[in-house]
Amino acid sequence: MIHSEKPRIGITLGDLNGIGPEVIIKTLADSRLLNLMTPVVYGSAKVLSFYRKLLNLEDFNYSQVKQKGQFFAKTINVVNCWEEVIDINPGHASRQTAQAALISLKKAVEEVKEGLIEGFVTGPIDKNTIHGTDFPFHGHTEYLTQEFNAGESLMMMVSDNLRVGLVTEHVSVKEIPTYITKERVELKIRLLELSLKKDFLINKPKIAVLGLNPHAGDSGLLGREEIEVISPVIADLKTKGKLIFGPFAADGFFAAGIHHHYDAVLAMYHDQGLVAFKTLAFETGVNFTAGLPFVRTSPDHGTAYAIAGKNQANESSFRSAMYLACDLIKNRTMQTVEN
């Protein structure tokens, strides 16, 4: 692994017909970012050129990588991952552009494994068009967990003052209770605590755990997962000196500002955590995959086909993803040096 003074951070284009290329260009057009990191875009200079002209962003410049791993500081490096011409039709789902997104992703994964970059930020993909035999996953998180042989990972949403982890991620609502086991809840709590220590340098993390059912089960009246699964796990971890609290009723937890008293919150399922998170931090929120050997972040939005190619996309979340990746890489490097 190369630990350069300025982290080398990969960027995958995401679906070419979505807003990924647009928010990437807008983010990297701010030259101040080059003072902190060396960005490496995995995709195609032709695609970037297409969007640069379409969006009238002519001040955006980059260098194409000629030799593998030969990245230059103070510039935007572009790794061409395919040679063929791909039809770009902003706002429209396409198997071809989805496959290009997958090629971009696989190249970034390859080079982070080889130590050529120290982490990467993924552009949004279309889960419907990318899904297939080459990508039988519900999203980036599941794919990367398998690709890095992580065993298990944790989807964590991060903003300045809010961190929300998930026990279950992209599963249907009717299947959620089958995933709420003592083993899984404890594992996710431990992954969250470890990440808070390793990635965010919080020595003694304080974590709030939400209940699964309305009113946290109402003493068993509305469900027994809190009594039989979640509470015993919390009690056991407390005996081991962990600062774990709950289970809290999810409906009023964020509205009452209780999350401000904790370093992170663990939600039981996707919408329980993300509805609140995106309400509070939509434009600056970042998706971080904790538990991987390398840093991976992404914006907290999707392909947004409805506004693709119209110069309406807000790059704030992607910019935040870039800065968070940079911070996390530096935090991990700092710990490596100290140890």
Cα–Cα dist 89/112, whole Å: 30
Domains 1-150+292-339 and 152-290 share a fold: yes
Q: Which of 113, 123, 136 is nearest to 297 (CA)?
A: 123
Task: Please give the pLDDT value at position 138.
Answer: 85
Q: What ranges do the domains of the chain cover?
A: 1-150+292-339, 152-290
Say which DSSP state 67 is in: S
Contact 215, 272 (CB under 8 A): no
Phi and psi angles of residue 224, each rounded to the nearest 5 degrees, phi first: -115, 5
Predicted pLDDT at 144: 94
pLDDT beneath 50, residues of the chain: 1-3
**What is the Cα–Cα distance from 275 to 284, expressed in whole angstroms?**
14
CATH class of the domain defined by 1-150+292-339: alpha beta
| 328 in Cβ contact with 192 (< 8 Å) | no
Residue whose entry in the numeric block shows the structure tokens 């890489």: 329
Whether residue 196 contacts residue 264, with contact meaning beta carbons closer than 8 Å, is answered with: yes
- CA atoms within a 13 Å half-sphere pointing along the CA-CB vector of 126: 23
Strands (E), the chain: 8-12, 38-43, 63-64, 77-80, 119-122, 154-159, 162-166, 206-210, 243-248, 264-267, 286-290, 295-299
* Helix, strand, coil share of the chain (percent; to 5): 40, 15, 40
The CA R_g of the chain, rounded to the nearest whole Å, is 20
Which strand ranges, in their side-by-side order, compose the sheet holding 63-64? 63-64, 77-80, 38-43, 8-12, 119-122, 295-299, 286-290, 154-159, 162-166, 264-267, 206-210, 243-248
Per CATH, which fold does 152-290 belong to? Isopropylmalate Dehydrogenase (3.40.718)
Q: What sections of 56-122 are H helices per DSSP?
A: 95-113
Q: What is the pLDDT of residue 206?
A: 98
Q: Write down the pLDDT at residue 161.
A: 84
Paired strand residues for 166: 267
